[in-house]
């Protein structure tokens, strides 16, 4: 259970599961995830590529391929989005639920002027607006992103990558949603544009109390822009809590290894996590991180870890108990040969 729960949550996710059918079997991309978001709160979602971050973000909004199967609860203001009819869900997207994609050209139509794309979005969800009102709303959103009114009728290809990203954010926010998934919105941008986008998102939460799920690989951005962080591995959130607590005193071995792999001005040598992320078709038994974990114990491949509260955050690791559920000898270290075999499997 997430530690941020409560009746004041904008979004409450419980036991969310998303899987895809393949020739090898079901890909369990998201496998039992819980978290909550309050108005104006930013939750950073971090982890290696392939751990299920983007699938989680899209699964929350119901923006998955038709072949995907979804189970669990995603409660938005007491409405369960899982199982909601597509037409009802479509009505919520835009005015209440927003999505900022990683690549701007997946959202911007190259054959339409920017003005036309804003008009299309506003007419679809707020059909009572006049032409002047639509233009005013669109220019206001673009101005907030640093895009001058003189570029309003330009085409996407006439903008730089950073400007396209800001336009896409403006499109997502012009309808003033109360919850937004930002899927790596600063990827491949230079540090100046990255800083501008972080400031824009900070202004958004301050001015409109928008809740954000911020998906990224960049732990530095999480430290700067997020209130809480959720660390995801193999479809599970293995640790979540306040950013400063998690980053300064990580409790899960995977979180510690991620922090050690981060490059800073104090870095004297490169560190990496041995092995590869878990196979989501056939994940390791017990704790999914145990084949790569430097702290693995005998209990780790035997039983799935029980989430526990540790120093104000939730951690899914046998290092923190509960001791009464650890079998005799379970606290003994898992020998290196066993780790190697599990990794190669």
The pLDDT, as a whole number, for residue 244 is 95
215 has which bridge partners?
Answer: 45, 183
Residue 5 clears pLDDT 50, i.e. is over it:
no
Residue 8 clears pLDDT 60, i.e. is over it:
yes
The pLDDT, as a whole number, for residue 337 is 53
- Taking the C-alpha atoms of residue 1 and residue 201, their distance in angstroms, rounded to an integer, is 27
What mean pLDDT is reported for the chain? Answer: 88
The mean pLDDT value for 225-244 works out to 96
Per-residue pLDDT tens digits for 115-131 = 999 999 999 888 889 99
Question: At 235, phi and psi to the nearest 5?
Answer: 80, 0
The pLDDT, as a whole number, for residue 3 is 45
The mean pLDDT value for 260-273 works out to 80
The pLDDT, as a whole number, for residue 342 is 42
The closest alpha carbon to 193, from 171, 174, 221, belongs to 221
Residue 247, token pair as written in the block: 């980053």
The pLDDT, as a whole number, for residue 203 is 82
The pLDDT, as a whole number, for residue 290 is 95
The pLDDT, as a whole number, for residue 83 is 87
- Taking the C-alpha atoms of residue 49 and residue 17, their distance in angstroms, rounded to an integer, is 18
- Taking the C-alpha atoms of residue 264 and residue 186, their distance in angstroms, rounded to an integer, is 19
Residue 166 clears pLDDT 90, i.e. is over it:
no
The mean pLDDT value for 155-163 works out to 90
Question: Which residues, 6 or more positions from 48, have their beta carbon under 8 angstroms from its beta carbon?
Answer: 217, 233, 258, 273, 277
32 burial (CB, 10 Å; 0-12 / 13-18 / 19+) is: middle
- Taking the C-alpha atoms of residue 103 and residue 107, their distance in angstroms, rounded to an integer, is 8
Per-residue pLDDT tens digits for 322-345 = 887 888 888 888 874 544 444 443
Q: Which residue ranges make up each domain of the chain?
A: 109-167
Residue 75 clears pLDDT 50, i.e. is over it:
yes
- Taking the C-alpha atoms of residue 40 and residue 101, their distance in angstroms, rounded to an integer, is 20
- Taking the C-alpha atoms of residue 259 and residue 276, their distance in angstroms, rounded to an integer, is 17
Residue 287 clears pLDDT 70, i.e. is over it:
yes
């Amino acid at each position: 259970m997430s530690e941020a729960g409560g009746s004041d949550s904008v979004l409450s996710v419980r036991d969310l599961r998303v899987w895809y059918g393949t020739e090898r079997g079901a890909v369990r991309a998201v496998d039992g995830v819980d978290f909550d978001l309050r108005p104006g709160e930013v939750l950073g979602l971090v982890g290696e590529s392939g751990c299920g971050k983007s699938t989680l973000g899209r699964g929350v909004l119901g923006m998955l391929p038709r072949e995907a199967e979804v189970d669990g609860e995603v409660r938005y203001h007491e409405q369960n989005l899982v199982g909601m009819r597509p037409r009802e869900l479509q009505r919520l997207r835009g005015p209440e639920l927003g999505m900022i994609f990683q690549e701007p050209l997946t959202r911007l139509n190259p054959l339409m002027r920017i003005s036309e794309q804003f008009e299309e979005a506003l007419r679809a969800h707020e059909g009572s607006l006049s032409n002047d009102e639509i233009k005013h709303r669109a220019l206001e959103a673009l101005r907030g992103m640093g895009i001058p009114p003189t570029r309003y009728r330009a085409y996407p290809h006439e903008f730089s990558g950073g400007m396209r990203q800001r336009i896409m954010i403006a499109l997502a926010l012009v309808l003033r949603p109360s919850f937004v998934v930002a899927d790596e919105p600063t990827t491949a941008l230079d540090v100046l544009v990255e800083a501008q986008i972080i400031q824009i998102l900070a202004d958004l939460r301050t001015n409109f109390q928008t809740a954000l799920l911020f998906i990224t690989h960049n732990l530095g951005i999480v430290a700067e822009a997020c209130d809480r962080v959720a660390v995801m591995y193999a479809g599970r959130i293995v640790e979540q809590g306040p950013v400063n607590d998690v980053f300064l005193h990580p409790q899960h071995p995977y979180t510690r290894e991620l922090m050690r792999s981060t490059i800073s001005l104090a870095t004297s040598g490169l560190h990496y996590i041995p092995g590869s992320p878990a196979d989501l078709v056939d994940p390791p038994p017990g704790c999914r991180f145990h084949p790569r974990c430097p702290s693995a114990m005998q209990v780790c491949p035997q039983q799935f870890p029980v989430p526990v509260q540790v120093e104000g955050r939730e951690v899914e690791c046998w290092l923190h108990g509960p001791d009464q559920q650890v079998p005799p000898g379970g606290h003994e270290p898992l020998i290196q040969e066993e780790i190697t075999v599990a990794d190669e499997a």
